[in-house]
């Protein structure tokens, strides 16, 4: 199979991953925001080191670059959407399954967090890991998917060598 013919296979995979991730992200957020009393009764201890809580992140990862203005909100939204578009074109050239899955996770996560900014003015984060007084940052499904997606993209060239051969050698 030619390289051009293999790309659509990986494109479809990446887009499916992006769509499923986006659905899972938005469903988890909407269920907690509108389907529970979390906003009134947080934090909810789940394990000694894990709570479900409410944090409205007006910045980017780890709460950096907090934006309290409408202009800042829309600039961050635009950055997420532009990143998703750039990643879509990267996905079209993906040469391995892991690469496509990683890009799909990042695209779905970026769009999920952009939707939060458009609808709520900030990203809804709710998973809080902590040990004693040490508190790791609060995140959501989209954030976790973005981190996993980056790891898969970096690892893909080392772990998916057989994918490249499969795509080119398949009838």
Q: What strand order describes the sheet that includes 134-139?
A: 44-47, 50-57, 123-131, 134-139
Cis peptide before 43 (omega within 30 of 0): yes
Of 57, 78, 55, 75, nearest to 66 (Cα)?
57
Kindly tell me the burial class for residue 80, based on how many C-beta atoms sit within 10 Å of its own C-beta (0-12, 13-18, 19 or more). Answer: buried
Distance of CA 99 to the CA centre of its chain: 15
Residues belonging to the active site: 125, 143
3 state SS of 131? strand
């Amino acid at each position: 199979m030619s390289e051009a013919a293999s790309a659509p296979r990986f494109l479809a995979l990446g887009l499916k991953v992006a769509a499923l991730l986006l659905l899972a992200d938005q469903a988890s957020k909407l269920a907690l925001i509108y389907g529970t009393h979390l906003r009134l009764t947080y934090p909810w201890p789940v394990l000694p080191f894990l709570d479900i809580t409410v944090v409205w992140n007006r910045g980017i990862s780890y709460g950096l670059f907090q934006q309290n203005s409408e202009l800042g909100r829309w600039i961050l939204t635009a950055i997420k959407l532009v990143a998703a578009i750039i990643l879509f074109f990267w996905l079209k050239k993906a040469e391995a399954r892991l690469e496509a899955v990683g890009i799909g996770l990042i695209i779905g996560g970026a769009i999920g967090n952009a939707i939060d900014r458009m609808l709520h003015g900030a990203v809804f984060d709710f998973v809080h890991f902590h040990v004693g007084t040490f508190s790791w940052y609060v995140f959501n499904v989209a954030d976790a998917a973005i981190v996993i997606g980056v790891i898969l993209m970096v690892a893909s060239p080392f772990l998916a060598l057989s994918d490249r051969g499969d795509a080119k050698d398949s009838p």
